[in-house]
Amino acid sequence: MNKKMYSWKMTKPGAEFELVESSLPSLGEGEALIQIAGCGVCHTDLSFWHYGVKTKKEMPLTLGHEISGRVIDGPPEWVGKKVIIPAVLPCGECELCKKGRNNICRNQLMPGNDFDGGFASHIKVPARYLCPVSEAVLDKYALKELAVVADAISTPYQVVKKSGLEAGDLAIVIGVGGVGIYAALIAKIFGAKVLALDIDDEKLKMAKENGIDATLNVKDKDIREIKSQVRAIAKELNVSKYGWKIFEISGTKPGQELGFSLITFASVLSIVGFTMEKPEVRLSNLMAFDAALIGTWGCKPELYPEVLELVESGKLNIAPFIELFPMSRINEVFKNTLARQYKKRSIMVPDFE
């Protein structure tokens, strides 16, 4: 086994990542060493790198929490397995874990936040919640492509389930980028009629071409105009004017304000995207419409096999929505992602050899 590892370190917010060579880490009890196949670039990474959100671990730090790879050392039952690393690794023992809320375990460990993450050749993680990838899934996708399961797919999967979405409901997805497109597709798999809202015609076109029922470009439209058009689309789709399931995934103040404005009787608004900005909303609408406003964080490890089942069955198609880059281009990719130059989810693939 090669005893060296390579990682791209963030030394301070906004600075270029630096390539660092080091020795492979030693393992403690229950820990696994994983050779990384791919690591997706998430808006959370941008938040740490550019928007001033503080990481738990002090810098220098390797970012990246959307990781797939192969176990090369650790508990014997795991060695050789190809796995997805959950973006949130709970302790399994605390009050929240025992109440079925392990995705918000207060002892949780998040790669690229609590410890060095996936923009590297290797990573050391607790083995307990690793999700094995079957050969049937690998017959459809390369392991590096499956990195998006760790967050971009599993997070919307959890929130769609949490929202109580039922077949025949109207699902409104605000922002169909690297995470939102999967929310739209998963809602469709669950039997909903899906309306995608975005400010980018190309993203909306891609959503429509992949089975989303309706799209609406909301750029330069005021909220009243958008609400009127959404009601008209709901009528065209022959869905109820009540009980809409709204998923805000743009991670913007306008997106959150729009999502809240679309609440109707018995609606559920799910906040998935993150922004430091504070929206202006009238919370009394929740009372008046007897509606619900929920958040979500990561995904419970036990849901990951369900996500992989969707991929294995062919119900969920990953390929059109991802783009692979060599990890040596990380500085370029982060700058371009910040500038919103990509229409697909970027996956960084180690190229240190």
Judge whether residue 353 has pLDDT over 60: no
Across 300-328, average pLDDT: 95
User: What is the C-alpha to C-alpha distance for residues 41 and 151, in angstroms, rounded to an integer?
Assistant: 10
Q: Which residue in 292, 290, 294, 303 sits closest to 272, CA to CA?
A: 294
- What are the start and end residues of each CATH 3.90.180.10 domain in the chain? 4-151+299-349
Q: Provide the Cα torsion 8, 13, 15, 16; round to 10°.
A: 30
**8 Å CB contact between 232 and 257:** no
Judge whether residue 352 has pLDDT over 80: no
Q: Which CATH superfamily is domain 4-151+299-349 in?
A: Medium-chain alcohol dehydrogenases, catalytic domain (3.90.180.10)
Location of structure tokens 């180690």: 350
Find the helix or strand (DSSP H, E) in which 122 lies: strand 122-126
Across 294-317, average pLDDT: 95
User: What is the C-alpha to C-alpha distance for residues 300 and 249, in angstroms, rounded to an integer?
Assistant: 19
Judge whether residue 52 has pLDDT over 60: yes
156-194: pLDDT as tens digits: 999 999 999 999 999 999 999 989 999 999 999 999 999
* 322 burial type by CB count under 10 A (0-12 exposed, 13-18 middle, 19+ buried): buried
User: What is the C-alpha to C-alpha distance for residues 79 and 121, in angstroms, rounded to an integer?
Assistant: 17
Contacts of 294 (CB under 8 A, 6+ apart): 159, 162, 163, 268, 269, 270, 271
User: What is the C-alpha to C-alpha distance for residues 155 and 149, in angstroms, rounded to an integer?
Assistant: 9
User: What is the C-alpha to C-alpha distance for residues 1 and 15, in angstroms, rounded to an integer?
Assistant: 33
What is the pLDDT, as a whole number, of residue 2? 67
Contacts of 222 (CB under 8 A, 6+ apart): none
Across 57-84, average pLDDT: 97
Contacts of 53 (CB under 8 A, 6+ apart): 44, 47, 276
- What are the start and end residues of each CATH 3.40.50.720 domain in the chain? 154-295
Q: Which residue in 187, 146, 141, 196 sits closest to 168, CA to CA?
A: 187
Residue 237: count of CB within 10 angstroms of its CB: 15
**8 Å CB contact between 279 and 257:** yes
* Mean of all residue pLDDT scores within the chain: 95
Across 238-259, average pLDDT: 96
Assign residue 298 a region: left if phi > 0, alpha if psi is -120 to 50, beta otherwise? left
What is the pLDDT, as a whole number, of residue 3? 83
> Class assignment of domain 154-295?
alpha beta
User: What is the C-alpha to C-alpha distance for residues 184 and 182, in angstroms, rounded to an integer?
Assistant: 5
82-139: pLDDT as tens digits: 999 999 999 999 999 999 999 999 999 999 999 999 999 999 999 999 999 999 999 9
pLDDT category at 275 given cuts 50, 70, 90 is: confident
Phi, psi of 29 (to 5 degrees): -60, 130
